[in-house]
Amino acid sequence: MERTHAFTSKGAKLVIALGVVASLGFLGACAPQAKPAEPAKAPHATEQTKPASEQHLMVYCGAGMKKAMEQVKTGFEAKNPGAKLDITYAGSGKLLAQLQSTHKGDLFIVGAKPDYENAKKEGLVQDNIPVANHTPAIVVKKGNPKHISSLKDLEKPDVKLVLADAASASIGRTANMIFEKNGINAKKNIKATVGTVTEIVTAVQSSNADAGICTKDSVSEAQDVEAITIPNDQNINQIITASITTFTKNQDLSNKFVAYLKSAEGKKAYSDHGFLPVDK
């Protein structure tokens, strides 16, 4: 009897143990299984592409048309969301030198066609479009205290004259050509040469000079100065030209910019600041 009782106790314990294991197995089978981790998704193609907001055009522009070009910049960027114009203003000679030395940039906009032609000969730019007239004029102090009415008056001994440097700015070369065309010898009256038409206007405004040769448009909005017109038969007109560089990295956007310059809105930006259209 004792031996049977011992066996029965041991058997009972074994049955209980097996039941516990079976229950745990059943619970494990019923428990929700964890999903395997999904592989990370690759970024969508549009996330890897530069947004339009990073499309920049590098523009070389003559300093004498800064106000008009700033209006062009505002209008063009508004019509082409994301496009940005990075503009360098200087005399055309300096701009050409930068183009030659860096071979970087997208557009070359200068105040006289010969500067474009020099760039074209060197293979730096594509075909150009005429933008506006950049007509030379005599700039004098408001009220014209020296009573200057003609090129000949610039030879008077009491006239202090300021001109643009012929190597730096197209208006400097044009002024020399106008003097030569009309037999004007005013070298003794030249007190300073500067880099841009803006500096000529500033010199006359501050009375550091009595007169200078600049452009009508550069005087149209300036304070304390006025322009004396040079007769057509004595003058040498300048035409502002715009061209795309041969090494632009954004031909499509550059084409859009040139098209904007040719549009009514682009032309208005120039006429608003005293530039006459090329068809006049």
Per residue in 34-43, pLDDT tens? 444 444 444 4
Whether residue 123 is predicted with pLDDT greater than 90 in this model: the reply is yes
In this structure, are residues 276 and 215 in contact, taking their beta carbons and an 8 Å threshold? no
Find the DSSP H helices in the chain: 2-30, 45-48, 66-79, 92-102, 113-121, 170-182, 197-205, 216-220, 251-262, 264-271
Identify the pLDDT of residue 272.
Answer: 95
Q: Which residue has the higher pLDDT, 16 or 274?
A: 274
Note the pLDDT tens digit of each residue in 209-247: 999 999 999 998 899 999 999 999 999 999 999 999 999
Whether residue 280 is predicted with pLDDT greater than 60 in this model: the reply is no
CA 212 – CA 190 distance, rounded (Å): 9
Identify the pLDDT of residue 190.
Answer: 97
Whether residue 22 is predicted with pLDDT greater than 50 in this model: the reply is no
CA 278 – CA 31 distance, rounded (Å): 85
Query: Residue 162: is it exposed, middle or buried by C-beta count within 10 angstroms (0-12/13-18/19+)?
Result: buried
Identify the pLDDT of residue 264.
Answer: 96
The closest alpha carbon to 260, from 52, 62, 57, belongs to 57
In the structure, what pLDDT confidence band is assigned to residue 130 with cuts at 50, 70 and 90?
very high
CA 140 – CA 204 distance, rounded (Å): 6
Mean pLDDT of 181-204: 95
Identify the pLDDT of residue 249.
Answer: 95
Mean pLDDT of 186-198: 94
Whether residue 261 is predicted with pLDDT greater than 60 in this model: the reply is yes
Place of tokens 């017109």: 229
In the structure, what pLDDT confidence band is assigned to residue 57 with cuts at 50, 70 and 90?
very high
Note the pLDDT tens digit of each residue in 82-107: 999 999 999 999 999 999 999 999 99
Place of tokens 């890897």: 48
Residue 163 backbone dihedrals phi, psi, to 5 degrees: -130, 165
Whether residue 52 is predicted with pLDDT greater than 90 in this model: the reply is no
Percent of the chain residues past pLDDT 70, beyond the cut: 80
Three-state SS at 150? coil
The closest alpha carbon to 213, from 147, 151, 155, 131, belongs to 151
In the structure, what pLDDT confidence band is assigned to residue 53 with cuts at 50, 70 and 90?
low
pTM: predicted TM-score of the whole model, two decimal places: 0.75
Note the pLDDT tens digit of each residue in 132-161: 999 999 999 999 999 999 999 999 999 999
Whether residue 48 is predicted with pLDDT greater than 90 in this model: the reply is no
Q: Which of 19-33, 44-58, 142-156, 162-176 has the lowest mean pLDDT?
A: 19-33
Give every CB contact of residue 200 below 8 A, 6+ residues apart in sequence.
139, 162, 163, 164, 171, 194, 209, 212, 213, 214, 218
Identify the pLDDT of residue 168.
Answer: 87
State the sign of the Cα–Cα–Cα–Cα dihedral 238, 249, 263, 53. Answer: negative
